[in-house]
Structure 1
Amino acid sequence: MQTLYWILIFLGTFCGMEFMAWFTHKYIMHGFLWSLHKDHHIKDHDSWFERNDFFFIFYAIVSMTFIVLWSDYNLWIGLPIGLGILAYGISYFIVHDIFIHQRFKLLRNINNRYAKGIRRAHKMHHKHIGKEKGECFGMLFVPFKYFKK
């Protein structure tokens, strides 16, 4: 039974991270930490690394903290939460940084309806290069209007 709880908590955390990504992006990245996120919209540097990448580090620390709470303090719920955050982070990195932004030249030839919809939604978000209109969509919950043929 505990395995079922772990799976449900892992899946719930993974899906909950979609909300956290949206919330963080809209109210923090396009809010008081715009100074870190701005270079993701306006390329004002020649470096592969962006100041925006510090947000990955934050979520990695949160994930590691839950895993340490599980391993060192026997907080059983820490493992599925930490792994759910980690799995979302890996998925987000693959979809956003590799697939959409091509920071690594991989996954270039994926051309199905879902892939086109995610690319289209993200392109619409990047049309706004300023702090305002920070609305975006995640990987899982993209409006159907972006999935046209």
Structure 2
Amino acid sequence: MVNIVLLILAYFFMEFVAWSNHKYVMHGFLWNWHIDHHRKDNLQGLPLNTEDKLLEKNDLFFLVYAIPAIILMIVGFSIQSMPMVFVSVGITLYGFTYFAIHDIIIHNRIKISFLQGKHNFFIEAVIKAHTAHHKPKNKQDFNNYGLLVFPLKFLKS
């Protein structure tokens, strides 16, 4: 039971990690990695690039998140620490969620038919909040740095 709780806590903690890294790292000192992700947004002062690329510099952040989870899992199995393994599984599941929602559903970087099209109200709100981050109508819209946690106004139709 404790291991399942650790998995769930690790999963939800990753939303805070993703939010804070997006705000302070990606839009901060590692903007040169993240800028590729905003090249199509037509933001003021950003050179516009409409070409579709298979990979972006922004994809390096996958490694930033994946490597610690992999190390945690290897060490957890090596020293037979199931709590470490379950925390790494929580981190990994969040990574899969982020990839499915952000890269497949929102940005359509990989075409998977059953993940595109009509979505439930929560996924629609996630899409609206993320779109607001990419095409802000005001300064508050640009502050949507999370993926699964966002201002409640996006839940309204």
TM-score range, shorter chain: 0.7 to 0.9
How far apart, in 2, do the equivalents of 1:10 and 1:147 lie?
Answer: 27
How far apart, in 2, do the equivalents of 1:112 and 1:76 lie?
Answer: 34
1:127 maps to amino acid:
K
CA root-mean-square deviation: 1.7
**Which stretch has the larger CA shift, 12-21 or 115-124?**
115-124
Deviations 1:90-139 (A, max 9, x none): 000000000000111222212332222111101110025xxxx8632434
How far apart, in 1, do the equivalents of 2:27 and 2:64 lie?
Answer: 16
How far apart, in 2, do the equivalents of 1:89 and 1:111 lie?
Answer: 20
User: Residue in 2 aligned with 1:37?
Assistant: 34
1:52 maps to amino acid:
N
How far apart, in 1, do the equivalents of 2:142 and 2:28 lie?
Answer: 8
Match of 2:131 among 123, 126, 134: 123
| Stretches of 4+ aligned residues off by more than 4 angstroms | none
Q: Output the TM-score relative to the length of structure 2.
A: 0.83
Match of 2:152 among 140, 144, 147: 144
User: Residue in 2 aligned with 1:53?
Assistant: 59
Deviations 1:47-79 (A, max 9, x none): 210000000112110110110111112333210
1:60 maps to amino acid:
A
2:25 is the counterpart of 1:28: yes
User: Residue in 2 aligned with 1:101?
Assistant: 107
2:84 is the counterpart of 1:87: no
Contact 1:26 1:134 in 2 (8 A): no
Give 5+ residue unaligned stretches, structure 1: none
1:57–1:95 Cα change, 3 Å: same
Give 5+ residue unaligned stretches, structure 2: 41-48
Aligned residues: 142
Contact 2:20 2:145 in 1 (8 A): no
